[in-house]
Amino acid sequence: MKLPQELNQAAEEYRNWIGNYLPIGREIIYLSQDDVKSIPLAPEKIRDLVEQSLIAYSAKKVDMPSKIALHPLTDTFFHAMPAYVPELFAAGIKWGSCFPENRRQFGFPQAQGLIIYNDQLSGMPLAVMDCKYITEIRTAAVTYTAIKYLAPQDAETFGMIGCGVEGRQHIKNIVTVLPNLRTIYVYDIFEAAADSLIADLGPGIGASIVKAASYEELVKNSQVIASATIAKEGYDPVIKDAWIGPGKTILLCEGHTLYEDRIFKRADKYIVDSREQVEQFVSYGYYPFGHPAIHAETGEVAAGKATGRENAGDLIVGNNFGMAVEDMFVVRAVFDYAVEHGVGIKLPL
């Protein structure tokens, strides 16, 4: 994809603006995780950027090849995630990984990685930054976008399976997208993760958080269910079709891992972030029974080009495995603030 000619001047202006703060081609900015976290990005702004990114992807306004993956051990992956967004003059790549045994084996988080942000006019790197926090906030924002279009807007119950980094971030601002929420059910196979989530986020969240005793309790009681646990290659579902009544909205961050396949096959609408990536993930073995017919991409629904929730009784599944373009929209905002305000350290190239 090429920069449209009419944007040439604006692209040069952006580059000149960066040049006021950073000698492009001689230095880069390095942003640690704390640096990235210190940048004031309001939750509504993140939600907005991420929704725009989904829309831009589905409208084919960005260059984003599917992830390139390495799978060194069972259930682990590295993903190379490049994206170019002409309208933002933003290009770069995330090199992210997920190693689910990290907490137990090494005391590290499951997901981590780095992002390189480039000058799209010369190709020179402008910044290297930690990707963990950006991944965290943009992933929750994808779920929030899906909730906006797929869930009953007056839902009073939400269930979060997995109480780690993503689970916490999902719950933090959930009442902004589901304002009538009364009860949030949480479940984690590592009970301490659920306990500390409740202790840390419970006060002041705007709804009561209840630790579910089982998947069944959470699933049966929640109108909207999100999960962020472990992306697994095999098939060992713990959530049974019989527990899924009408009207549920099921939102997945880790593919089909937890659910019986029949649930997806009988869903009234099955919506994904990227058709192309779903096909690619089939080839990696994530969907041993294939994927259901895809109703639309999340960005098509957000753009009003495809329908979201129409009937209260519909079972709707949103499978958003994550896209580089979501990162890139947030990265541009993070970089712009950092370069202008002197956040991070400058390193010679």
Applying CB under 6 A, the residues found at the interface with ligand NAD are: 98, 103, 109-111, 135, 139, 161-167, 187-190, 193, 228-231, 253-254, 320-322
Which of 135, 157 has the CB closer to ligand NAD? 135
Which of 111, 339 has the CB closer to ligand NAD? 111
Residue 279 burial class via C-beta count within 10 angstroms: exposed 0-12, middle 13-18, buried 19 and up: middle
Which of 207, 258 has the CB closer to ligand NAD? 258
**Relative orientation angle of helices 132-150 and 43-58, to the nearest 10 degrees:** 70
CB of 253 to ligand NAD, least distance (A): 4
User: Which residue is closest to ligand NAD by CB?
Assistant: 164
Identify which of 246, 191, 200 has the alpha carbon closest to the alpha carbon of residue 223. 246
CB of 75 to ligand NAD, least distance (A): 9
Provide φ and ψ at 68, rounded to 5°.
Answer: -100, 130
Which of 46, 126 has the CB closer to ligand NAD? 46
Which of 125, 164 has the CB closer to ligand NAD? 164
Provide φ and ψ at 118, rounded to 5°.
Answer: -115, 155
CB of 229 to ligand NAD, least distance (A): 4
CB of 189 to ligand NAD, least distance (A): 4
**Angle at the Cα of 95 from the Cα atoms of 93 and 97, rounded to 5 degrees:** 150
CB of 122 to ligand NAD, least distance (A): 30
Which of 110, 120 has the CB closer to ligand NAD? 110
Give the length of the chain: 349
Q: In this structure, which amino acid lies at residue 309?
A: R
CB of 27 to ligand NAD, least distance (A): 30
Longest dimension (CA), the chain: 61
68's CB contacts (< 8 A; 6+ apart) are 79, 80
